[in-house]
Amino acid sequence: MSMSWVGVRYRRISLPDIMKAMRLWLDGRQFEPQTFEYVISGLGVLVRLEFPGNAQAAEFAEAFGREVSRERPSIEGVEVNSAEGSVSRAS
The answer to the question of residue 52 being in a domain is: yes
Q: What is the CATH number of the domain that holds 44?
A: 3.30.70
The answer to the question of residue 91 being in a domain is: no
Domain count, the chain: 1
- The pLDDT tens digits of the residues spanning 32-56 come to 999 999 988 887 888 999 999 899 9
The answer to the question of residue 43 being in a domain is: yes
Range of the domain at 81: 4-86
Integer-rounded Cα radius of gyration of the chain: 13
> Quick one: which of 65, 73, 63 has its CA closest to 28?
63
Q: What is the chain's pLDDT, residue by residue, as a tens digit (91 residues)?
A: 578 999 998 888 888 998 999 999 999 999 999 999 998 888 788 899 999 989 999 999 999 877 788 777 776 643 333 455 656 554 4
